[in-house]
Amino acid sequence: VLTLTKEMSDFFEGAIDHGADVKLTSNWLMGGVNEYLNKNQVELKDTQLTPENLAGMIKLIEDGTMSSKIAKKVFPELAEHGGDAKQIMEDKGLVQISDEATLLKFVTDALDNNPQSIEDYKNGKGKAMGFLVGQIMKASKGQANPQKVNSLLKQELDNR
């Protein structure tokens, strides 16, 4: 069941009309939005959330500007004060790092500090890659673009 109320159904349709991806919107309404409403014991109409500002956030997730982790930090602000997800993200210093040179520094540092993980990876232990990604995400305070990190890390591991 996608929507429990007419209000939620209308909200969903509105977000889609503003260009949000159907699946991501559904996931956010059933997940993050419902979780927020329940936790704060409010209804959708009691928040500053609009179909337009939710759609804006979802489009940022879709195009890789915002990670899901960053979205979870931006969302409460969006619900409480409204506004623009990208502006909130920038104001809070949560901009996702996608610059390859910057990411490569995080990757190199993680590899230099974890020689055992390099050996584990070369010996076919898949968990080593996950551990290294975790170290990079930790070092970047969750702001590194995970897709680019995975790609660069694999490249660097294969070159060592």
pLDDT digits (tens, 9 = 90+) for 16-58: 999 999 999 999 999 999 999 999 999 999 999 999 999 999 9
pLDDT tens readout for residues 101-113: 999 999 999 999 9
pLDDT of residue 120: 95
Distance CA 96, CA 46 (A): 30
Tokens of 144: 């590194």
Mean pLDDT of 123-146: 92
151 or 2: which carries more pLDDT confidence? Answer: 151
Tokens of 63: 């195009």
pTM, rounded to two decimals = 0.72
Residue found under tokens 């409480």:
80
Tokens of 69: 């982790």
Query: The domain spanning residue 155 has which CATH number?
Result: 1.10.10.410
pLDDT of residue 86: 93
Say if CB 15 and CB 58 are below 8 A apart: yes
Residues 81 and 16 in one domain: yes
Of 66, 91, 116, the residue at which a domain comes to its end is 91
pLDDT tens readout for residues 67-94: 888 899 999 999 999 999 999 998 988 8
The total number of structural domains that make up the chain: 2
Of 91, 123, 150, the residue at which a domain comes to its end is 91
Q: Which residue range(s) make up the domain with 28? A: 6-91
* Range list of H helices, the chain: 6-17, 22-28, 34-40, 51-62, 68-81, 85-91, 100-113, 115-122, 127-139, 146-159
Of 91, 112, 142, the residue at which a domain comes to its end is 91
CA-closest candidate to residue 83, choices 56, 53, 43: 53
Has residue 112 been placed in a domain? yes
Residue found under tokens 């590899």:
111
Residues 124 and 57 in one domain: no
Residues 86 and 104 in one domain: no
74 or 95: which carries more pLDDT confidence? Answer: 74
Has residue 1 been placed in a domain? no
Residues 42 and 81 in one domain: yes
